Amino acid sequence: MSLISAVLGLSQAPAHAASLQQVTGFGTNPGNLQMFEYAPDNLPSGAPLVIALHGCTQSASDYYSHSGWPKYADMYGFTLVLPQTTSSNNANSCFNWYQPSDYTRDLGEALSIKQMVDYAKSHHSSDPSRVYVTGLSAGGAMTSVMLGDYPDVFAGGAIDSGIPAGCATDLSSGLTCEYNAVNRTPQQWGDAVRSASGNWGGPWPRVAIWQGTGDTTVNPANATEERDQWTDVWGIGRTPSSTTTLTGGTTQAVYNDSSGRPAVETFSVSGMAHGLAVNPGSGTDQCGSTGTYYLNYICSSYWTAKFWGLDASGGGGTGSLPAPTGLTVTGTADTTVSLSWSAVSGAASYNVYRGGSKVGSTTGTSYTDTGLGSGTQYTYAVAAVDSVGVVGGRSSAVSATTGYQPQCFTDNNYNQVAAGRAHQSLGYVYANGSDQNMGLYNLYVTHTLEETSSGHYVIADSGCPS
Protein backbone atom coordinates (compact mmCIF):
# COMPACT_ATOMS: atom_id res chain seq x y z
CA MET A 1 0.00 0.00 0.00
CA SER A 2 1.69 3.19 -1.10
CA LEU A 3 1.15 6.15 1.19
CA ILE A 4 -0.12 7.79 -1.97
CA SER A 5 -1.84 4.85 -3.72
CA ALA A 6 -3.21 1.46 -2.64
CA VAL A 7 -6.04 -1.01 -3.04
CA LEU A 8 -7.96 -2.30 -0.05
CA GLY A 9 -11.36 -3.84 0.57
CA LEU A 10 -13.61 -2.79 3.45
CA SER A 11 -15.09 -4.96 6.16
CA GLN A 12 -17.91 -4.47 8.58
CA ALA A 13 -17.42 -3.20 12.13
CA PRO A 14 -18.07 -5.66 14.95
CA ALA A 15 -21.23 -5.32 17.00
CA HIS A 16 -21.09 -3.20 20.14
CA ALA A 17 -23.71 -1.68 22.41
CA ALA A 18 -22.15 1.57 21.29
CA SER A 19 -21.23 1.76 17.62
CA LEU A 20 -19.22 3.75 15.13
CA GLN A 21 -21.14 6.92 14.32
CA GLN A 22 -20.57 9.71 11.83
CA VAL A 23 -20.45 13.23 13.25
CA THR A 24 -21.33 16.27 11.18
CA GLY A 25 -21.00 19.95 11.97
CA PHE A 26 -17.76 19.57 13.93
CA GLY A 27 -16.25 22.77 12.53
CA THR A 28 -15.54 24.73 9.38
CA ASN A 29 -13.73 21.63 8.06
CA PRO A 30 -11.35 23.33 5.59
CA GLY A 31 -9.79 19.95 4.71
CA ASN A 32 -13.12 18.42 3.61
CA LEU A 33 -12.75 15.38 5.89
CA GLN A 34 -15.40 13.21 7.51
CA MET A 35 -15.54 12.51 11.25
CA PHE A 36 -16.49 9.17 12.79
CA GLU A 37 -16.38 8.33 16.48
CA TYR A 38 -16.81 5.45 18.87
CA ALA A 39 -17.74 6.44 22.42
CA PRO A 40 -18.22 3.50 24.83
CA ASP A 41 -21.37 3.49 26.90
CA ASN A 42 -21.20 5.24 30.29
CA LEU A 43 -17.91 6.95 29.48
CA PRO A 44 -16.98 9.13 32.47
CA SER A 45 -16.13 12.80 32.26
CA GLY A 46 -12.40 13.40 32.00
CA ALA A 47 -11.68 10.26 29.94
CA PRO A 48 -8.85 10.24 27.37
CA LEU A 49 -9.32 10.79 23.64
CA VAL A 50 -7.59 8.85 20.84
CA ILE A 51 -7.51 9.91 17.17
CA ALA A 52 -6.82 7.07 14.69
CA LEU A 53 -5.95 7.78 11.04
CA HIS A 54 -6.40 5.20 8.26
CA GLY A 55 -4.08 4.56 5.31
CA CYS A 56 -4.61 5.09 1.58
CA THR A 57 -7.91 3.71 0.15
CA GLN A 58 -8.85 2.58 3.63
CA SER A 59 -11.74 4.06 5.56
CA ALA A 60 -12.69 4.87 9.12
CA SER A 61 -14.87 1.73 9.36
CA ASP A 62 -12.07 -0.45 7.98
CA TYR A 63 -9.59 0.84 10.54
CA TYR A 64 -12.21 0.52 13.27
CA SER A 65 -12.85 -3.12 12.31
CA HIS A 66 -9.24 -4.33 12.07
CA SER A 67 -6.96 -2.17 14.24
CA GLY A 68 -8.09 -3.32 17.68
CA TRP A 69 -8.60 0.20 19.00
CA PRO A 70 -12.31 -0.27 19.88
CA LYS A 71 -11.36 -3.12 22.24
CA TYR A 72 -9.15 -0.81 24.28
CA ALA A 73 -11.66 2.04 24.13
CA ASP A 74 -14.03 -0.34 25.93
CA MET A 75 -11.39 -1.83 28.23
CA TYR A 76 -9.63 1.36 29.30
CA GLY A 77 -12.42 3.87 28.80
CA PHE A 78 -11.72 6.51 26.16
CA THR A 79 -13.35 8.12 23.13
CA LEU A 80 -12.06 6.97 19.74
CA VAL A 81 -12.26 9.38 16.78
CA LEU A 82 -11.52 8.16 13.25
CA PRO A 83 -11.13 10.90 10.63
CA GLN A 84 -11.78 9.85 7.05
CA THR A 85 -10.67 11.32 3.75
CA THR A 86 -12.21 10.50 0.39
CA SER A 87 -11.33 10.32 -3.28
CA SER A 88 -12.55 13.90 -3.70
CA ASN A 89 -9.55 14.98 -1.61
CA ASN A 90 -7.09 12.49 -3.02
CA ALA A 91 -7.57 10.01 -5.85
CA ASN A 92 -6.52 7.13 -3.57
CA SER A 93 -8.19 8.44 -0.39
CA CYS A 94 -4.83 9.27 1.22
CA PHE A 95 -4.40 12.00 3.77
CA ASN A 96 -2.41 14.73 2.03
CA TRP A 97 0.54 14.66 4.43
CA TYR A 98 2.93 15.97 1.73
CA GLN A 99 0.84 18.99 0.64
CA PRO A 100 1.56 22.35 2.35
CA SER A 101 -2.08 23.46 2.23
CA ASP A 102 -2.99 20.37 4.28
CA TYR A 103 0.05 19.78 6.52
CA THR A 104 0.50 23.33 7.85
CA ARG A 105 -0.82 24.19 11.31
CA ASP A 106 -4.34 25.66 11.14
CA LEU A 107 -4.76 24.89 7.44
CA GLY A 108 -6.61 22.23 5.46
CA GLU A 109 -6.73 18.65 6.68
CA ALA A 110 -4.58 19.39 9.73
CA LEU A 111 -7.08 21.97 10.95
CA SER A 112 -10.04 19.69 10.19
CA ILE A 113 -8.52 16.98 12.42
CA LYS A 114 -7.82 19.58 15.13
CA GLN A 115 -11.47 20.65 14.93
CA MET A 116 -12.53 17.03 15.46
CA VAL A 117 -10.39 16.98 18.60
CA ASP A 118 -12.02 20.17 19.87
CA TYR A 119 -15.51 18.82 19.12
CA ALA A 120 -14.85 15.51 20.90
CA LYS A 121 -13.31 17.22 23.92
CA SER A 122 -16.32 19.50 24.21
CA HIS A 123 -19.04 16.88 23.66
CA HIS A 124 -17.48 14.11 25.77
CA SER A 125 -15.74 16.26 28.41
CA SER A 126 -12.47 14.57 27.44
CA ASP A 127 -9.36 15.30 29.47
CA PRO A 128 -7.40 17.88 27.41
CA SER A 129 -4.15 16.62 28.92
CA ARG A 130 -4.76 13.07 27.59
CA VAL A 131 -5.35 13.42 23.85
CA TYR A 132 -3.41 11.07 21.56
CA VAL A 133 -3.06 10.45 17.82
CA THR A 134 -2.00 7.39 15.83
CA GLY A 135 -2.16 6.24 12.22
CA LEU A 136 -0.95 3.78 9.59
CA SER A 137 1.01 4.56 6.41
CA ALA A 138 -0.38 7.84 5.02
CA GLY A 139 -2.23 8.05 8.35
CA GLY A 140 1.12 7.52 10.08
CA ALA A 141 2.66 10.31 8.04
CA MET A 142 -0.32 12.51 8.95
CA THR A 143 0.21 11.54 12.59
CA SER A 144 3.72 13.00 12.31
CA VAL A 145 2.15 16.14 10.85
CA MET A 146 -0.33 16.48 13.73
CA LEU A 147 2.32 15.90 16.41
CA GLY A 148 4.56 18.51 14.78
CA ASP A 149 1.78 21.04 14.21
CA TYR A 150 -0.03 20.62 17.53
CA PRO A 151 2.27 19.52 20.38
CA ASP A 152 0.10 21.79 22.51
CA VAL A 153 -2.87 19.49 21.80
CA PHE A 154 -1.45 15.94 21.85
CA ALA A 155 0.12 14.26 24.87
CA GLY A 156 1.38 11.40 22.72
CA GLY A 157 1.38 9.77 19.33
CA ALA A 158 2.16 6.53 17.52
CA ILE A 159 3.51 6.54 13.96
CA ASP A 160 2.90 3.18 12.23
CA SER A 161 4.90 2.73 8.99
CA GLY A 162 4.97 6.49 8.53
CA ILE A 163 7.22 9.40 7.58
CA PRO A 164 8.97 12.07 9.72
CA ALA A 165 7.33 15.46 10.07
CA GLY A 166 8.64 17.99 7.57
CA CYS A 167 10.09 15.45 5.15
CA ALA A 168 8.03 16.39 2.07
CA THR A 169 6.78 19.61 0.50
CA ASP A 170 5.04 18.14 -2.57
CA LEU A 171 4.09 14.84 -4.21
CA SER A 172 7.53 14.26 -5.74
CA SER A 173 9.42 14.75 -2.49
CA GLY A 174 6.75 12.68 -0.72
CA LEU A 175 7.56 9.71 -2.93
CA THR A 176 11.27 10.18 -2.22
CA CYS A 177 10.61 10.18 1.52
CA GLU A 178 8.44 7.10 1.23
CA TYR A 179 10.55 4.82 -0.92
CA ASN A 180 14.10 6.02 -0.32
CA ALA A 181 13.92 7.81 3.06
CA VAL A 182 15.67 11.15 3.57
CA ASN A 183 18.76 11.33 5.75
CA ARG A 184 18.98 14.50 7.84
CA THR A 185 20.70 15.32 11.11
CA PRO A 186 18.68 14.93 14.31
CA GLN A 187 18.76 18.70 14.79
CA GLN A 188 17.40 19.29 11.28
CA TRP A 189 14.56 16.89 11.98
CA GLY A 190 13.94 18.47 15.38
CA ASP A 191 13.97 21.95 13.85
CA ALA A 192 11.24 20.84 11.42
CA VAL A 193 8.97 20.03 14.36
CA ARG A 194 9.85 23.18 16.26
CA SER A 195 9.13 25.29 13.18
CA ALA A 196 5.85 23.52 12.37
CA SER A 197 4.64 24.05 15.93
CA GLY A 198 5.25 27.80 15.86
CA ASN A 199 8.31 27.35 18.13
CA TRP A 200 6.35 25.68 20.93
CA GLY A 201 8.54 25.37 24.02
CA GLY A 202 7.09 22.17 25.46
CA PRO A 203 5.94 19.90 26.95
CA TRP A 204 6.34 17.59 23.96
CA PRO A 205 4.26 14.54 22.97
CA ARG A 206 5.58 11.08 23.86
CA VAL A 207 6.00 9.22 20.58
CA ALA A 208 5.95 5.52 19.66
CA ILE A 209 7.33 4.45 16.28
CA TRP A 210 6.30 1.15 14.63
CA GLN A 211 8.01 -0.30 11.56
CA GLY A 212 8.34 -3.68 9.84
CA THR A 213 11.82 -4.58 8.68
CA GLY A 214 10.40 -6.24 5.54
CA ASP A 215 8.46 -3.16 4.44
CA THR A 216 9.07 -2.41 0.75
CA THR A 217 6.51 0.41 0.60
CA VAL A 218 7.83 2.66 3.35
CA ASN A 219 11.59 2.41 3.63
CA PRO A 220 12.35 1.15 7.19
CA ALA A 221 15.07 3.83 7.47
CA ASN A 222 12.19 6.27 8.07
CA ALA A 223 11.77 4.80 11.55
CA THR A 224 15.37 5.72 12.38
CA GLU A 225 14.83 9.26 11.11
CA GLU A 226 11.62 9.52 13.19
CA ARG A 227 13.54 8.36 16.26
CA ASP A 228 16.21 10.99 15.58
CA GLN A 229 13.53 13.64 15.16
CA TRP A 230 11.73 13.04 18.43
CA THR A 231 14.77 12.33 20.59
CA ASP A 232 16.19 15.66 19.38
CA VAL A 233 12.93 17.43 20.19
CA TRP A 234 13.07 15.93 23.67
CA GLY A 235 16.78 16.73 24.02
CA ILE A 236 17.71 13.15 24.86
CA GLY A 237 20.32 10.75 23.45
CA ARG A 238 19.84 8.16 20.72
CA THR A 239 21.19 5.27 22.78
CA PRO A 240 18.26 3.26 24.18
CA SER A 241 17.69 3.31 27.91
CA SER A 242 16.54 -0.29 27.53
CA THR A 243 15.66 -2.85 24.88
CA THR A 244 13.19 -5.73 25.18
CA THR A 245 12.23 -8.64 22.94
CA LEU A 246 8.45 -8.91 22.61
CA THR A 247 6.19 -11.38 20.84
CA GLY A 248 6.03 -11.55 17.05
CA GLY A 249 9.73 -10.94 16.56
CA THR A 250 9.36 -7.41 17.88
CA THR A 251 12.20 -5.43 19.47
CA GLN A 252 11.18 -2.56 21.71
CA ALA A 253 13.73 0.20 22.37
CA VAL A 254 12.97 2.79 25.06
CA TYR A 255 14.45 6.29 25.25
CA ASN A 256 13.82 7.88 28.64
CA ASP A 257 13.51 11.56 29.45
CA SER A 258 15.54 13.23 32.20
CA SER A 259 13.10 11.98 34.85
CA GLY A 260 13.48 8.35 33.73
CA ARG A 261 10.10 8.16 32.04
CA PRO A 262 9.83 6.85 28.44
CA ALA A 263 9.62 9.75 25.98
CA VAL A 264 10.23 7.85 22.72
CA GLU A 265 9.83 4.15 21.98
CA THR A 266 10.55 2.24 18.79
CA PHE A 267 9.04 -1.12 17.86
CA SER A 268 10.85 -2.96 15.08
CA VAL A 269 8.90 -6.00 13.81
CA SER A 270 11.25 -8.49 12.18
CA GLY A 271 10.24 -9.47 8.66
CA MET A 272 6.91 -7.65 8.72
CA ALA A 273 5.83 -6.12 5.41
CA HIS A 274 3.89 -2.88 5.06
CA GLY A 275 0.94 -2.71 7.41
CA LEU A 276 -0.36 -2.48 10.96
CA ALA A 277 0.71 -5.16 13.42
CA VAL A 278 -2.28 -6.98 14.94
CA ASN A 279 -2.64 -10.21 16.90
CA PRO A 280 -6.19 -11.61 16.97
CA GLY A 281 -7.28 -13.28 20.19
CA SER A 282 -9.06 -12.75 23.48
CA GLY A 283 -6.01 -11.98 25.64
CA THR A 284 -5.53 -8.49 27.02
CA ASP A 285 -2.49 -8.05 24.78
CA GLN A 286 -4.24 -9.46 21.70
CA CYS A 287 -6.36 -7.43 19.32
CA GLY A 288 -7.65 -6.77 15.85
CA SER A 289 -8.28 -8.97 12.86
CA THR A 290 -6.06 -9.85 9.94
CA GLY A 291 -6.64 -8.55 6.45
CA THR A 292 -4.86 -6.69 3.71
CA TYR A 293 -2.24 -4.57 5.51
CA TYR A 294 -3.34 -5.91 8.92
CA LEU A 295 -0.61 -8.41 9.72
CA ASN A 296 -0.51 -11.04 12.46
CA TYR A 297 2.60 -10.33 14.56
CA ILE A 298 1.82 -8.36 17.74
CA CYS A 299 -1.01 -6.11 18.90
CA SER A 300 0.49 -2.69 18.24
CA SER A 301 -2.61 -0.96 19.64
CA TYR A 302 -2.14 -2.67 23.02
CA TRP A 303 1.53 -1.70 23.30
CA THR A 304 0.78 1.83 22.14
CA ALA A 305 -2.02 2.21 24.70
CA LYS A 306 0.35 0.86 27.36
CA PHE A 307 3.06 3.33 26.33
CA TRP A 308 0.60 6.21 26.64
CA GLY A 309 -0.48 4.98 30.07
CA LEU A 310 -4.07 4.24 29.07
CA ASP A 311 -3.90 0.83 30.76
CA ALA A 312 -3.50 2.48 34.16
CA SER A 313 -6.66 3.90 35.70
CA GLY A 314 -6.49 7.54 34.77
CA GLY A 315 -3.62 6.93 32.35
CA GLY A 316 -0.51 8.94 31.78
CA GLY A 317 1.93 7.03 33.99
CA THR A 318 4.36 4.15 33.76
CA GLY A 319 4.34 2.92 37.34
CA SER A 320 2.09 0.47 39.15
CA LEU A 321 0.41 3.00 41.47
CA PRO A 322 -3.20 3.69 40.55
CA ALA A 323 -4.47 7.14 39.70
CA PRO A 324 -5.67 9.19 42.67
CA THR A 325 -9.43 9.54 43.01
CA GLY A 326 -11.57 12.30 44.43
CA LEU A 327 -9.66 15.22 42.92
CA THR A 328 -11.64 18.29 43.95
CA VAL A 329 -11.24 22.05 43.70
CA THR A 330 -11.50 23.22 47.30
CA GLY A 331 -11.12 26.93 46.66
CA THR A 332 -10.23 29.64 44.19
CA ALA A 333 -9.06 33.22 44.58
CA ASP A 334 -7.77 35.94 42.30
CA THR A 335 -4.48 34.18 41.48
CA THR A 336 -4.72 30.79 43.24
CA VAL A 337 -6.49 27.43 42.97
CA SER A 338 -6.60 24.95 45.86
CA LEU A 339 -7.00 21.19 45.31
CA SER A 340 -7.41 18.03 47.36
CA TRP A 341 -7.65 14.31 46.57
CA SER A 342 -7.79 10.90 48.23
CA ALA A 343 -4.57 9.23 49.35
CA VAL A 344 -3.05 6.39 47.32
CA SER A 345 -1.56 3.48 49.25
CA GLY A 346 2.20 3.28 48.63
CA ALA A 347 2.53 6.86 47.41
CA ALA A 348 5.58 8.78 48.65
CA SER A 349 4.46 12.00 46.97
CA TYR A 350 2.13 13.38 44.33
CA ASN A 351 2.76 15.29 41.11
CA VAL A 352 0.34 18.07 40.23
CA TYR A 353 -0.31 18.85 36.56
CA ARG A 354 -1.84 22.02 35.12
CA GLY A 355 -2.89 21.79 31.46
CA GLY A 356 -0.88 18.56 31.14
CA SER A 357 2.38 20.05 32.47
CA LYS A 358 3.80 19.33 35.93
CA VAL A 359 3.60 22.44 38.10
CA GLY A 360 4.46 21.07 41.52
CA SER A 361 4.70 18.13 43.90
CA THR A 362 3.67 17.50 47.47
CA THR A 363 3.82 14.72 50.05
CA GLY A 364 0.29 15.52 51.21
CA THR A 365 -3.08 15.21 49.53
CA SER A 366 -3.69 18.90 48.96
CA TYR A 367 -2.00 21.61 46.94
CA THR A 368 -2.44 25.32 46.19
CA ASP A 369 -1.33 26.56 42.80
CA THR A 370 -0.24 30.21 42.90
CA GLY A 371 0.76 33.00 40.56
CA LEU A 372 -2.18 32.44 38.20
CA GLY A 373 -4.05 34.91 36.03
CA SER A 374 -7.30 36.22 37.42
CA GLY A 375 -10.57 35.25 35.78
CA THR A 376 -8.89 32.37 33.94
CA GLN A 377 -9.86 28.68 33.61
CA TYR A 378 -7.26 26.00 34.37
CA THR A 379 -7.35 22.19 34.14
CA TYR A 380 -5.66 19.98 36.77
CA ALA A 381 -4.76 16.34 37.31
CA VAL A 382 -2.60 14.57 39.90
CA ALA A 383 -0.51 11.38 39.91
CA ALA A 384 1.00 9.34 42.72
CA VAL A 385 4.78 8.80 42.85
CA ASP A 386 6.31 5.78 44.59
CA SER A 387 9.39 5.69 46.83
CA VAL A 388 11.82 5.30 43.91
CA GLY A 389 10.28 8.12 41.89
CA VAL A 390 8.16 6.13 39.42
CA VAL A 391 5.00 8.02 38.47
CA GLY A 392 1.66 6.21 38.41
CA GLY A 393 -1.52 6.95 36.49
CA ARG A 394 -2.98 10.43 36.32
CA SER A 395 -6.34 11.21 37.83
CA SER A 396 -9.34 12.41 35.91
CA ALA A 397 -9.06 16.12 35.26
CA VAL A 398 -10.94 18.91 37.01
CA SER A 399 -11.31 22.52 35.92
CA ALA A 400 -11.19 25.67 38.03
CA THR A 401 -11.62 29.33 37.22
CA THR A 402 -9.84 31.94 39.29
CA GLY A 403 -11.87 34.84 40.59
CA TYR A 404 -11.19 38.53 40.35
CA GLN A 405 -10.25 40.17 43.66
CA PRO A 406 -11.76 43.67 43.81
CA GLN A 407 -9.22 46.45 44.31
CA CYS A 408 -9.97 49.96 45.60
CA PHE A 409 -8.26 53.27 44.92
CA THR A 410 -8.99 56.56 46.69
CA ASP A 411 -7.57 59.70 45.08
CA ASN A 412 -8.47 63.03 43.53
CA ASN A 413 -9.96 63.12 40.06
CA TYR A 414 -6.79 64.43 38.45
CA ASN A 415 -4.71 61.53 39.81
CA GLN A 416 -7.40 58.95 38.98
CA VAL A 417 -7.18 60.03 35.35
CA ALA A 418 -3.37 60.09 35.43
CA ALA A 419 -3.39 56.51 36.81
CA GLY A 420 -5.61 55.25 33.97
CA ARG A 421 -8.63 54.48 36.13
CA ALA A 422 -10.76 57.28 34.69
CA HIS A 423 -10.87 59.65 31.76
CA GLN A 424 -11.90 63.27 31.30
CA SER A 425 -14.14 64.96 28.75
CA LEU A 426 -15.14 68.64 28.59
CA GLY A 427 -13.83 69.29 32.08
CA TYR A 428 -15.57 66.33 33.73
CA VAL A 429 -14.13 62.97 34.83
CA TYR A 430 -15.73 59.56 34.15
CA ALA A 431 -14.79 56.18 35.62
CA ASN A 432 -13.33 53.80 33.04
CA GLY A 433 -15.64 50.92 32.24
CA SER A 434 -18.75 52.15 34.02
CA ASP A 435 -18.53 55.77 32.70
CA GLN A 436 -19.95 57.04 35.98
CA ASN A 437 -19.64 60.83 36.33
CA MET A 438 -17.08 61.68 39.04
CA GLY A 439 -17.38 65.48 38.83
CA LEU A 440 -14.91 68.16 37.81
CA TYR A 441 -11.43 67.39 36.51
CA ASN A 442 -9.32 68.90 39.32
CA LEU A 443 -7.25 68.17 42.41
CA TYR A 444 -10.05 68.89 44.89
CA VAL A 445 -12.77 66.35 44.09
CA THR A 446 -11.90 62.94 45.57
CA HIS A 447 -13.53 59.56 45.00
CA THR A 448 -12.93 55.91 45.79
CA LEU A 449 -12.96 53.67 42.71
CA GLU A 450 -13.38 49.90 42.87
CA GLU A 451 -11.99 47.75 40.02
CA THR A 452 -14.63 45.02 39.77
CA SER A 453 -13.02 43.37 36.77
CA SER A 454 -9.94 44.11 34.75
CA GLY A 455 -10.21 47.75 33.57
CA HIS A 456 -13.77 48.25 34.89
CA TYR A 457 -14.20 50.80 37.71
CA VAL A 458 -17.22 51.88 39.72
CA ILE A 459 -17.60 54.63 42.33
CA ALA A 460 -17.43 53.08 45.80
CA ASP A 461 -17.42 56.10 48.13
CA SER A 462 -19.83 54.39 50.53
CA GLY A 463 -17.51 51.42 51.09
CA CYS A 464 -15.26 49.08 49.21
CA PRO A 465 -16.04 46.46 48.02
CA SER A 466 -19.18 48.24 46.90
In the chain, domain spans: 21-308, 328-401, 407-459
- Is 399 catalytic? The answer is no
Query: Residue 44: what pLDDT?
Result: 84
22 contacts 64 by C-beta, under 8 angstroms: no
Query: Residue 312: what pLDDT?
Result: 60
Query: Residue 15: what pLDDT?
Result: 37
**How much is the average pLDDT of 428-445?**
96
Q: Is the pLDDT of residue 211 over 90?
A: yes
Is 2.60.40.420 the CATH classification of the domain at 328-401? no
338 torsion bin: left (phi>0), alpha (psi -120 to 50), beta (else): beta
75 torsion bin: left (phi>0), alpha (psi -120 to 50), beta (else): alpha
Bridge partners (DSSP) listed for residue 401: 377
Share of the chain above pLDDT 90, in %: 73
Q: Is the pLDDT of residue 106 over 80?
A: yes
Query: Residue 2: what pLDDT?
Result: 59
With cut-offs at 50, 70 and 90, classify the pLDDT of residue 174.
very high
Q: Cα separation of 221 and 145, whole Å? A: 18
Question: What secondary structure, in 3-state letters, does 406-445 show?
Answer: CEEEEEEHHHHHHCCCEEEECCEEEECECCCEEEECCCCC
Share of the chain above pLDDT 70, in %: 93
Catalytic residue among 112, 129, 137, 313: 137
The pLDDT tens digits for 336-371 are 999 999 999 888 999 998 876 788 999 999 999 999
Looking at the whole model, is its pTM more than 0.75?
A: no
327 contacts 380 by C-beta, under 8 angstroms: yes
Which CATH topology does 21-308 take? Rossmann fold (3.40.50)
147 contacts 157 by C-beta, under 8 angstroms: yes
Q: Cα separation of 165 and 227, whole Å? A: 11
Q: Is the pLDDT of residue 314 over 80?
A: no
Q: Is the pLDDT of residue 458 over 70?
A: yes
